[in-house]
């Protein structure tokens, strides 16, 4: 079993890589920092591959996927974790290039990774994709317009992809890791009061909680909920038991709530 994890050099990606390696997966760990991915790969042990790549670059993504397939084998699990927080200012004060760079990494990156990995999954008629979204994708947060928009787009992309890939036996999940004390959160807490409040109230969660969820998904236990947003703080077994109801009520997806007719 082969997993490819982007943004795997530190934080959530690192925790996921270490967990999967411990469970016997062959893991390709990708990030822009060669030093960080090498350190994670060394700690993971087993059959691991450290790849330096920028997910916003089509050429580097193509090379990353091909190298993973050549050196480790067919990708069974793709975890799109790489992301940036973007400018943390009122929209009109942001630099357009910096604002758009957030979309390049957080939306175009997963799109490019899926575009390269999905065809082989379709041929084998199996595979799973996990896209790291955020609670910010489901609500507006002051001074985080670029990040919130990117995560909402990633949720919709996941839902769209899940629908189109269901006939090929491929499941897709946007997931919500909660507030994790990553480098990104440490940066954002200075400008975004709600994040600081979460931390002050002790509502942050460890990166291993996301590893738990990814492991659950990788085992195929959540396939009935493909396309739905899963959170580290939910009871996943209970959700799976109520999958038919969740789908019928269109829960855990992006929808406009209308007045009853």
Catalytic residue numbers read: 147, 151
Please count the helices (runs of H) and the strands (runs of E) in the chain.
Answer: 11, 7
User: What's the burial of 139, exposed, middle or buried (CB within 10 Å: 0-12/13-18/19+)?
Assistant: exposed
H helix runs in the chain, sequence order: 11-22, 34-44, 58-71, 96-103, 109-124, 145-165, 183-188, 193-200, 207-218, 236-241, 243-248
User: What's the burial of 69, exposed, middle or buried (CB within 10 Å: 0-12/13-18/19+)?
Assistant: middle
Question: Are residues 141 and 93 in contact, defined by beta-carbon separation less than 8 angstroms?
Answer: no
Of 232, 241, 238, nearest to 207 (Cα)? 232
Token pair for 180 = 């994790």
φ/ψ bin of 157: left (φ > 0), alpha (ψ from -120 to 50), beta (otherwise): alpha
Token pair for 182 = 């990553």
In angstroms, the CA 118 to CA 75 distance is 9
**N-term to C-term CA, the chain:** 49
- Please state the separation of Cα 88 from the chain's center in Å: 21
């Amino acid at each position: 079993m082969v997993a490819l994890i982007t943004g795997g050099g530190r934080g959530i990606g690192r925790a996921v890589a270490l967990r999967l390696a411990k469970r016997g997966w062959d893991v390709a760990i990708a990030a822009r920092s060669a030093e960080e991915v090498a350190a994670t790969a060394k700690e993971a042990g087993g059959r691991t591959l450290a790849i330096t790549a920028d997910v916003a670059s089509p050429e580097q993504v193509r090379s990353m996927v091909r190298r993973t397939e050549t050196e480790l084998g067919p990708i069974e699990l793709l975890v799109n974790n790489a992301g940036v927080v973007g400018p943390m200012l009122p929209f009109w004060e942001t630099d357009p290039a910096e604002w758009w760079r957030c979309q390049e990494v957080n939306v175009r990156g997963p799109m490019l990774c899926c575009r390269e990995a999905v065809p082989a999954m379709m041929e084998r008629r199996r595979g799973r994709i996990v896209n790291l979204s955020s609670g910010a994708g489901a609500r507006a947060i002051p001074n985080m317009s670029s990040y919130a928009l990117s995560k909402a787009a990633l949720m919709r992309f996941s839902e769209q992809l899940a629908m189109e890939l269901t006939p090929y036996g491929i499941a897709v999940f946007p997931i919500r890791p909660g507030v994790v004390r990553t480098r990104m959160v440490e940066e954002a807490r200075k400008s975004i009061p709600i994040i600081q409040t979460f931390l002050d109230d002790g509502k942050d969660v460890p990166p291993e909680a996301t590893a738990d969820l990814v492991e659950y998904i990788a085992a195929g236990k959540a396939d009935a909920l493909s396309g739905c947003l899963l959170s580290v703080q939910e009871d996943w077994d209970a959700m799976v038991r109520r999958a038919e109801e969740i789908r019928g009520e269109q829960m855990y997806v992006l929808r406009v709530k209308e007045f009853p007719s």
